[in-house]
Structure 1
Amino acid sequence: MKNVVIYVKKGCPYCIRAKDLLDKKGVEYEEIDVLKNSDLFNDIKSKYNVRTVPQIFITDDNGNYIHHIAGSDKLMDLEKEGKLDDMLNNNEDSIDATAYTSSSNEHEVCVISHDDFM
């Protein structure tokens, strides 16, 4: 099973929802609080053109991000479609991760504002 990194904000209900699913599946993950790690999250925002949490990444054994799942709705969609386990187990042939790599206003997310970092 691959490693998971999840960027969260304390009190974000969508972050809690995503973590609950990962916990239910027995997935271990590294949780990064975006308010305590603003420089790291700024890099993620620039590279992936996102500004919301949760942002979920599946990494290889070296810690490189290989899949980006933008938000709890997309994580739930992967689970409902039966693709999350394949993605976590690195069964690359059975998934199309590109459908889950961009954020959308259609999905419920917590927005991170500049004031949150002050």
Structure 2
Amino acid sequence: MAAIEIYTQPGCPYCTRAMRLLDSKGAAYTEIDAPHGTPEREQSRERSGGRSSVPQIFIDGRHVGGCDDLVALDARGSLDLLLASG
């Protein structure tokens, strides 16, 4: 299975939705707590090309975007392919 990293912050409904989708796929992921003003949030911003919102999701080191992007990948059938690529 692919290596998945997801930058989140407490209380974020989009983060919860993205993690629930990954959970429903049986995908293991590393959650990185990245509230505003933390080094982890800055790392997320740098890795994502400047996107400052959470979640920011990476599959096998490739930035796939946020929650809406993940849901769109799933709707197109592409998410399963990415998850199986690892």
| TM-score of the pair, normalised by structure 1 | 0.66
Measured against aligned partners, the alpha-carbon deviations of 1:34-91 in whole angstroms (never above 9, x if no partner) come to 02992132123134211000000012xxxxx1x2121111100000100001111229
CA distance in 2, matches of 1:52, 1:83: 23
Residue of structure 1 in register with 2:31 after alignment: 31
| TM-score of the pair, normalised by structure 2 | 0.88
Q: Which runs of 5+ in 2 are unaligned?
A: none
Does 1 or 2 have the higher relative contact order (CA < 8 Å, sep 6+)? 2
Q: How many residues align?
A: 85
CA-atom RMSD in angstroms: 1.9
Taking only the aligned residue pairs, the percentage that are identical comes to 40
Structure 1 or 2, whichever has the larger Rg, is: 1
Amino acid across the alignment from 1:8 = T
Q: Once superposed, which parts of structure 1, at least 4 consecutive aligned residues long, lie more than 3 Å away?
A: none
1:87 corresponds to 2:82:
yes
Residue of structure 2 in register with 1:55 after alignment: 56
